[in-house]
Structure 1
Amino acid sequence: MTVWFSVYPHLGGGRGTYLPVLRELRRVARCHVPTLPGRDGRYGEPACRTFRALTDDLWRQLRAELDAGADPDELVLFGFSMGALLATELAARLAGQGSGCRALVVAGSPPPHLLDADRQIGHLPDDEFVAALAENGVSAPTMLSEAELRKLMLPIWRADCAVVESHPRTHVRLHCPVLALAGSDDPLVGADRLAAWVPVGGPGSRVATVPGGHASVLADPRVLRDLLAEAAGLDLEVSR
């Protein structure tokens, strides 16, 4: 069976988040890129505001792939920041039905049980809310500073914050290997929190860092591409 990826975006992100990475991965693997309510082809729908509602929606999309014949044993789930929490929940649901997945790759997030309750920002007034996003490096500075784009994105940013802040913060234990990534200076994921991903996964779980802050994991698509290929057991050199 063919290895395939299912990828989940950061706060405010959509289907285009990983386009530079997926462009090459699609040459050697199938990629499932779900559409989140409130963005891309689902602009007419309200964005989900709870973790349960969003993961239920994404689970239905993933189940459609599995029902169409995709092999869960060949699936690599990946998510950055908020997406890491989404991907982890879907890995846990697969494990709960006895199928599991090939690997889970997470970036820019502590494991669910170590999420900070005191870092909640969704209740702040607009200017303070946007400043907090900028301080954490969650969204690109250009998006935060352009008035029209900011007005368009604020409802989505707030909805996604509500999703993260409603996470039940439960311990997760998976049988598949977990590869956890973070920037070396990520204010949201220190070394201890990054290392805490290892006992979440099965044999072969490990961590890796790249230089920089929260979004540095996405800075060079080639680095992320190669790490995802490694987690999937793909040799991109052979395919060139």
Structure 2
Amino acid sequence: MTESWFALYPPVGGGRGAYSRMVAELREHGHCHLPALAGRDSRFAETAAARFTDLADDLWNQLEAELGLGRSPDRLVLFGFSMGALIATEMAARLQQRGTGAGGLVVAGCPPPHLLAGRAVHTLPDEELTAALAAQGTVPSMVLDDPELLSVMVPVWRADCAAVASHPRRPVVLDCPVHALGGTEDPLAREADVTVWPRLGGAGSSVRLLPGDHAAVLDRQDLMAAAVLAAADRPSEVGARW
């Protein structure tokens, strides 16, 4: 198989539906690998991983299964927002260690791994944890307004936040192009940190900053899809095309 394909990794609490608008666009151009994370979707009954290494190992096994179908790593573009960006970066690093790197990496709303802040929101009581995530503007109101749904989501949020907190703070240097999208007013991914991403990638890496905060970046799934498609089509021209 030589067509482009895409692997999309969700933010904290997200599942396969996190990027529904993006997926609708990307599926017109290639296969979308939407991994199943423990604690949601088809794996709802499982306990979400609270350590990044466990989370990454699980998702790596799922990606390897796709590679086993004959999909080419160098035609793969990895994408993630926030926590998903860390996962996508880890997958890119493992592919590189395997000997055949990915075709490209697109990250949004996230600082590079070695610049992650030492936030410990996973240790907060349920109400404070919920308030902290709600303040980011990325939690749907339907969840916040439904006590039963909220009781289901809080353990998943807590595990995801713990996984992020346990991520090793070490620089990652990739051979593939890295393209980053950030918000000028995002306290979780500061402008100064987001602009470091291209230095960690290969030729053609780029960064784009949008006015707005964390939620504003996530809302621009049109731009994120455009970046992923540009990375798959003409990696050296992404900066000029999204």
TM over 0.5: yes
Residue matched to 1:238: none
TM superposition shift of 1:215 = 2.0
Q: Which residue of 1 aligns with 2:41?
A: 40
How far did residue 146 of structure 1 move? Answer: 3.0
Structure 2 match to 1:191: 191
Cα deviations across residues 165-196 of structure 1 (Å, max 9, x unaligned)? 11011110000000011122111112210111
Answer yes or no: is the 8 Å Cα contact 1:136–1:187 preserved in 2. no
Return the offset for 1:142: 4.2
Q: CA offsets per residue over residues 36-64 of structure 1, 9 Å max, x none?
A: 01110011211111000010000000000
1:54 paired residue number: 55
SS across alignment from 1:122: helix
Instruction: Give % identity.
Output: 51
Residue number in structure 2 paired with 1:104: 105
Are the equivalent residues in 2 in contact too, given 1:11–1:138 (CA < 8 A)?
no
The structural deviation recorded for 1:209 is 1.8
Question: Is the CA contact 1:195–1:207 (under 8 Å) kept in the aligned structure 2?
Answer: yes
Q: Deviations over 1:15-38 (max 9, x none)?
A: 001111111211111111110011
1:98-177 aligned at under 5 Å gives the runs: 98-117=99-118, 119-177=119-177
Query: Does residue 203 of structure 2 align to residue 203 of structure 1?
Result: yes
Deviations 1:82-121 (A, max 9, x none): 000000000000011110011000001100000011x211
Structure 1 SS opposite 2:139: coil
Per the alignment, residue 66 of structure 1 pairs with: 67
Name the TM-score, length of structure 2 as normaliser. Answer: 0.92
Q: Could you tell me how far apart the structure 1 residues matched to 2:210 and 2:189 are?
A: 12
d(CA) in 2 for partners of 1:220 and 1:200?
Answer: 24
Q: Secondary structure at the match of 1:136?
A: coil
- By how many angstroms is 1:218 displaced? 2.6
1:77 partnered with 2:78:
yes
CA contact (8 A) 1:15 1:33 kept: yes
Equivalent position amino acid for 1:75 in 2: L
* Cα distance between partner residues in 1 of 2:132 and 2:218: 20
Question: Does the 8 Å CA contact 1:143/1:149 hold for their aligned counterparts?
Answer: yes
TM-score (norm 1): 0.93
What amino acid sits opposite 1:218 in the alignment? L
Residue-by-residue CA offset, 1:139-178 (whole Å, 9 max, x unaligned): 2344234322211100100010111011011110000000
Q: How many positions carry a matched residue from both structures? A: 234
SS at match of 1:6: strand
1:99 corresponds to which letter in structure 2?
T
Code of the aligned partner of 2:104:
A
Q: Is the 8 A contact 2:183 2:191 kept in 1?
A: no
- Unaligned 5+ segments in structure 2 are 235-242
Q: Which residue of 1 aligns with 2:239?
A: none
Determine the C-alpha separation between the residues in 2 that align with 1:99 and 1:30. 19
Preserved CA contact (<8 Å) 1:108 1:183 = yes
Question: Match of 2:123, SS?
Answer: coil
